[in-house]
Structure 1
Amino acid sequence: MPIRWGDMDAMGHVNNTVYFRYIEQARISWFDLVACTPDPAGEGPVIVNAHCSFLKQLKYPGEIEIRTFVGPPGRSSFEMFHQIRMVGADGNPGELHAEGGAKVVWVNFPAEKSVPLPNAICKLLPPQKLLPGK
């Protein structure tokens, strides 16, 4: 995805809050890919925490690639992990600039309670931890 000029702050680099927006977009794209978008009248995924380690500054102009990994299923949750890499002039992803993730919990929205992950989602998740850095 492109780094936008407006993503930068007064310090001349991408603001720390924007990294969470990049990660959010990667997470939502994965949800769309596997057809597990939230249904406000029923069930779906929410995050209960989020984290990011800023390893190297991102600056405009540029393109980033976000690699997304998922962890094994729990009763009602799983972990997502993301790597943010700057895309080089050759079009290939390069150096790692940030890594982060979130814990995703499946909830019943009207009841405001967690519920077991659907079998279809569990089948998409690895049986054991394969996340980078873990």
Structure 2
Amino acid sequence: MKISLPELKKQVHQMPMDVRWGDMDAMGHVNNAVYFRYMESVRIAWMTAVGAVPQPQGEGPVIANAFCSFLRQIEYPARLLLTLYVSDPGRTTFETWTTIEREDQPGVVFAEGGATVIWVDFPRQKAATLPQWMRDIVAG
């Protein structure tokens, strides 16, 4: 099943990543759980770049859910291009979307997925209002 990225998504980050030998499973392709690590890597790189780093005694982002559609198998060796999009800033959340391509096959999406990010007050263990600076970044 192919998901559709929302029309109002905003591309915010892109990064290359090498498939490691250990990313493969017994069937000789990248293990399905590893795709979530790839999506996490691009999401964390972007969040770090914009200053959205969790502060254990304060507030920060947490993933509320994550999903992935596996469209084509990826095998080692490969160099990937991960593209991150954001959309739909709400009171406490926003959406992230990721596409995974091989650099040697531009425009061919091998997997796509996303995650809902919720802003959390860590000491209280409760959702917090998405800061205006983050809302501005996501809304663009």
Q: Same fold (TM over 0.5)?
A: yes
**1:80-113 deviation digits (Å, cap 9, x = unpaired):** 000000110xxx7341000000000000001000
Are 2:139 and 1:126 equivalent residues in the alignment? yes
The alpha-carbon deviation at position 56 of structure 1 amounts to 0.2
- Aligned match of 1:102 in 102, 115, 133? 115
What is the Cα-based RMSD across aligned positions, in Å?
Answer: 1.1
> Which segments of structure 1 move beyond 2 Å, counting only runs of 4 or more?
none
Establish whether residue 62 from structure 1 lines up as the match of residue 78 from structure 2.
Answer: yes
Identity of aligned residues (%): 51
Quick one: distance in 2 between partners of 1:12 and 1:53?
19
Instruction: Determine whether 1:83 maps to 2:99.
Output: yes
- Whole-angstrom distance in 1 between the partners of 2:120 and 2:101: 31
Aligned-pair distance for 1:73? 1.0
How far, CA to CA, are the matches of 1:126 and 1:119 in structure 2?
10
Unaligned runs of 5+ in 1: 128-134
Which residues of structure 2 form unaligned runs of 5+? 1-16
> How far apart in 2 are the matches of 1:74 and 1:67?
22
Q: 2:56 aligns with which of 19, 40, 55?
A: 40
Pairwise CA distance, 1:33:
1.2
1:113 pairs, out of 118, 122, 126, with 126
* Paired residues, number: 124
Aligned-pair CA distance for 1:72: 2.5
Q: In structure 2, the residue corresponding to 1:29 is in which secondary structure? A: helix
